[in-house]
A and B are shown apart, each in its own frame.
Chain A
């Protein structure tokens, strides 16, 4: 910029305001942000949004196909689904479900349903949608081999899969910022050692390493412990790129004139890091983190899909995909594959778009 800007809005705009202005121009990224926020809301309120607990079987309705949600009945607003009729497919010689127009099952909002503990703390019975009597079918995304509601399972899986991304990235970030920061700030021998370590970790092919480590997790472990171990394994790889990013920023910033000026002004090293350096790369880190989450989600999905990641009864997108992995499911119950698949694709794409937008906006002074 070569001259004074007269516009008052612009002259008083701080880093984050400029960041937001620049980000806002990225339409796709803003849409991505919306999707991600929605997904994390779903993850947070999965118990409430899901009509049933994820593991509630209904043996009458194994492999029941998705129902259509009808909103109106006789011109009045009365959401309902149709019940199922069982027919025998003469060719394949097997039971198939067809809609039964005679049986209307009303869908209630804020309905009392199976009991659950919200966030494991507050006992509640209210669900966003539900049916009047237990046992009535409500399978908007279909049912699985045990007649469990796939919608509920996908909603609960969203919580697990997204939180793995988040927890994994938090661990990566802590490692990355710590090691990268040490490397960049002190330089010299510390830098050399950490750089060699990073190169070593990066030179190991990821998938076999994950598989090896994940396969070593005993199946007898409780699900929660498995969950944490798998998250840790995934984040052990992710930190290297974040560490590089942080180190690079530190190295560049260390020689910036404004850092030198701050030192001459009498600021201590710690004050320089907190007041000048961290704010300078915070936006970059946020972007890098956003771009790292989809990798983590995919890694979990891949491991679970191969059967060496999370194990039932934990439900994650990967676990759901793993369960749909048989000829019968693919041929006659494709929804088991599509629903979690679509969830993975949506989340990964949205995060990537969001991350791209954040990265472009990260340097509002460029």
Chain B
């Protein structure tokens, strides 16, 4: 029973120039992304900076309006709704179910409000909670994320980065969400704080049967937390597979290059791995190459790749990749 089914999602930003702001082109930040999330699982979205991860996450929450595509969300009573096409005003009930954790624990909390006001905001607006009822509920949430309830009246500046991120998590949990989009939720955190936060996210997932869309660029974190991983390149998903399969037997040359670039925290393995060094930059979403968007950097590219855009196809059960040569290439993963 799919919780969220994204099909053909596109988000294009107009490029405007001149005095009259004429549209001279489009940044195809997300250009036909499809995936489904099952209840209770963690699906990770990885890829280089600018490949469209954040834009995808924001489109699901309708912080941005999709240009095309459907986002089918299955409610608790089993009815489905297309979040991509409904009116902004009608979004409110779904914004209770789908919540977000932000990357920057400093920018995402208003420094002028107390913890009570920050976490209590959604409860106040959506459930009309006030006074002690609100305080009790927020104190409860603070305890859930491992902060002391006495911190209720403190301001964010009195907390460390890790603690602030917990406040952000508490805010996301306030309305008993079903799906949480975590956009680089641990990227800004120090190693030790990151470990605490990852543990907390996993505990909460177990306790509340949460489903995560986990956006990240740190592959070792992704490997640790996810059930399935989707690799994005230039606004598209190029490979999607269960975590172990993706890391052990990648089917897309870009995934292979990404995996080979991950530094491994063991000096004895230094030099033992094949390095694939990508030359050049991530494709510019305003000027995508013809054919396979990865071909200018791909060491297996041939004439076919330059001419035709590959589509996502299943290579094994549950493992899909968008590469003309996915089934013939012998690619290396990380074997633990």
Interface pair A262/B121, CB less than 8 Å apart: yes
Within the complex, which residue of A4, A260, A267 is in contact with B159, where a contact is CB–CB below 8 Å?
Answer: A4
Given contacts A4-B163, A10-B158, A192-B21, contact A280 B110 (CB under 8 A): yes
Contact, CB under 8 Å: B122 / A12: no
Closest to B120 in A: A265
Q: Which residue of A lies closest to B62 (CB)?
A: A264
In the complex the two chains form, is A11's CB within 8 Å of B158's CB?
yes
Whole-angstrom CA separation of A352 from B33 in the bound complex: 55
Are B121 and A267 in contact, with the CB atoms below 8 A?
Answer: yes
Asked if B104 and A260 make an inter-chain contact with CB atoms under 8 angstroms apart, the answer reads no
Which residue of B is nearest A192, CB measured?
Answer: B21
Closest residue of chain A to B157 (Cβ to Cβ) is: A365
Which chain B residue shows the least CB distance to A15?
A: B112
Q: Does A276 contact B (CB under 8 A)?
A: yes
Residue contact B155 to A13, C-beta cutoff 8 Å: yes
A1-14 toward B: CB 8 Å interface, digit per residue (1/0)?
11111000011111
Please name all residues of chain B whose beta carbon is closer than 8 Å to the beta carbon of A2 when the two chains form the complex.
160-161
Q: How does the 8 Å CB contact mask read for B138-157 relative to A, with 1 for contact and 0 for none?
A: 00000000000001011101
- What A residues does B95 contact at CB under 8 A? 264-266
Bound CA span A267–B126, Å: 9
Contact of B158 with A14 in the complex, beta carbons under 8 Å: no
Q: How far is the CA of A257 from the CA of B158 in the complex (A)?
A: 19
B46 CB to closest chain A CB (Å) equals 21
Taking CB atoms, residues of chain B closer than 8 Å to A260 are 63, 100, 102, 108
CA distance A15 to B102 in the complex (A): 23
B61 near A264 with CB under 8 A, answer yes
Question: Is A132 interfacial (CB 8 A cutoff)?
Answer: no
Bound together, the chains give a CA A200 to CA B157 distance in angstroms of 42
B107 close to A258 (CB less than 8 A): yes
* Cα separation A139 to B107 with both chains bound (whole Å): 60
Contacts of A265 in B (CB 8 A): 95, 121-122, 125-126, 171
Q: Would you give the 0/1 interface string for A260-279, flagging 1 where the beta carbon is closer than 8 Å to chain B?
A: 11111111000000001001
> In the bound complex, do residue A280 and residue B159 qualify as a contact, i.e. CB atoms below 8 Å apart?
no
Residue B263 is within 8 A (CB to CB) of chain A in the complex: no
- The answer to whether B109 and A258 touch across the interface, beta carbons within 8 angstroms, is yes
B236 within 8 A of A: no
Would B111 and A261 count as touching, CB distance under 8 A?
no
Asked if B155 and A261 sit within 8 Å, CB to CB, the answer is: no
Are the C-beta atoms of B126 and A4 separated by less than 8 Å? no
Q: A1-B160, A12-B153 are in contact. Are A257 and B104 (CB under 8 A)?
A: yes
Q: How far is the CB of B125 from chain A (nearest CB, A)?
A: 4
Chain B residues lying within 8 Å of A103, measured Cβ to Cβ, are: none
Contact call B99/A3, Cβ cutoff below 8 A? no
Q: Mark A114-152, 1 if CB is under 8 A from B, else 0.
A: 000000000000000000000000000000000000000
Residue of B with least CB distance to A276: B110
- Which 3 pairs from chain A and chain B are nearest by CB? A11-B158, A257-B108, A265-B122
Q: Which residues of B contact A (CB under 8 A)?
A: 19, 21, 61, 63, 92, 95-96, 99-100, 102-104, 107-112, 114, 121-122, 125-126, 151, 153-155, 157-161, 163, 171
**Other CB < 8 Å A-B pairs besides A260-B63, A276-B112, 8 of them?**
A12-B158, A192-B21, A257-B102, A257-B103, A261-B108, A265-B171, A266-B125, A365-B157
A-B contact pairs, 26 of them (CB 8 A): A2-B160, A4-B158, A11-B151, A11-B155, A11-B158, A12-B155, A14-B155, A15-B112, A192-B19, A257-B102, A257-B104, A257-B107, A257-B108, A258-B110, A260-B63, A260-B108, A261-B171, A263-B63, A264-B61, A264-B100, A264-B122, A265-B95, A267-B121, A267-B125, A276-B110, A280-B110
